[in-house]
Amino acid sequence: MSQPQPPEGEIQRWTAKRKAAVVLDLVRGKITPADAARQHGLTVAEIEQWKEDFLAQGMEALRSHPRDREAQWEAEKQRLHAKIGELALEVDVLKKVHRILGKDLPDGIS
């Protein structure tokens, strides 16, 4: 699964997929960090950091532009708050309808 170096003069970007392939070779014991660094013209520290990032966060950590986890969390929080507001409004409407119709509210609802 090891990828050969690109031909002399050809610049090839280190995509998440390419980094993951190198890390998987490391994890599987097919190559050492020193061999990978030498083969790809990188430092052992770079290779080790890829491995640490991959193991800690998976492929997402290796992307050149990781999705902003904070923004994802904030968006989900806003969506859930909106849903809570919607449900609270529905409960208020149902309570009002019950009162207008003179019906008792179900147990546990006041």
What confidence tier does 44 reach under pLDDT thresholds 50, 70, 90?
very high
What pLDDT is attached to residue 21?
Answer: 94
Rg for the chain, CA atoms, rounded = 27
Question: How many Å apart are CA 59 and CA 53, to the nearest integer?
Answer: 8
In sequence order, which residues have a C-beta less than 8 Å from that of residue 66 and are 6 or more positions away?
A: 60
What confidence tier does 82 reach under pLDDT thresholds 50, 70, 90?
very high
Identify which of 49, 4, 46, 54 has the alpha carbon closest to the alpha carbon of residue 28.
54
Count other C-beta atoms under 10 Å from residue 71's C-beta.
Answer: 9
What confidence tier does 93 reach under pLDDT thresholds 50, 70, 90?
very high
Percentage of the chain beyond pLDDT 70 is 82
- For the entire predicted model, the pTM comes to 0.48
Looking at the predicted structure, is the pLDDT value of residue 78 above 70?
yes
Cα 66 to Cα 13, 78, 88, 91, distances in angstroms? 16, 21, 36, 40
What pLDDT is attached to residue 6?
Answer: 54
